[in-house]
Amino acid sequence: MSTKPLPQNQNETLQLERFLPYRLNVVGTLASRALGRIYSEQFGIGIPEWRVVAQLGEFGKLTSRDIGELAQMHKTKVSRAVSELEKRGFVSRAENRQDRREAFVTLTAAGRRVYEQIVPLALGFEARWVEGISPDELKLFERVLSILTERGRHLAGGYRGEDGA
């Protein structure tokens, strides 16, 4: 049984509004919700489905395991999203001849059209979101975010199957 270290000062409290992991999760959740409204209202797909479409749009043919790794999604959520997208005609699956337990997933022509329509909306959202932040500040933020991402992967022990936002 592992024990958690106690705070150095017994009077210390955790103030969530100042706790970086919490704040990052809140920011991610807000971004996902705002973008999710765009995907849902205009294309009838949810956040998990968009993450699958985005990964396939960027990388082409992937397995569900690859999609989960890249999008930091649990395999069950990936499976449901792929099934829903396949029902809607946005993706297709083809057997992996090297490993018959998994299939390759690709965008169909309809899925590619959805991807091509959403990308400018997503990029426009990003531009509005960072409006007023200087290029130097954004560059520094990107650097810090990359460091935090790598440290998070290390601290999580390489596990990449849970959604945080």
pLDDT higher for 140 or 17?
Answer: 140
Phi, psi dihedrals of residue 94, rounded to the nearest 5°: -135, 140
Q: How far, in Å, CA of 46 to CA of 74, rounded?
A: 15
- pTM value is 0.80
pLDDT, tens digit, 9 for 90 and up, residues 70-85: 988 999 999 999 999 9
User: What domains appear along the chain, each with residue ranges and CATH number?
Assistant: 19-155 (1.10.10.10)
What confidence tens digit (pLDDT) does each residue in 85-124 have?
A: 999 999 999 987 777 788 899 999 999 999 999 999 999 9
Three-point CA angle 53, 57, 36, nearest 5° = 35
For residue 44, the Cα-to-chain-centroid distance in whole angstroms is: 18
Give mean pLDDT, residues 13-17: 91
User: 147-164: string of b/e by CB count within 10 Å (b at 16+)?
Assistant: eeeeeeeeeeeeeeeeee
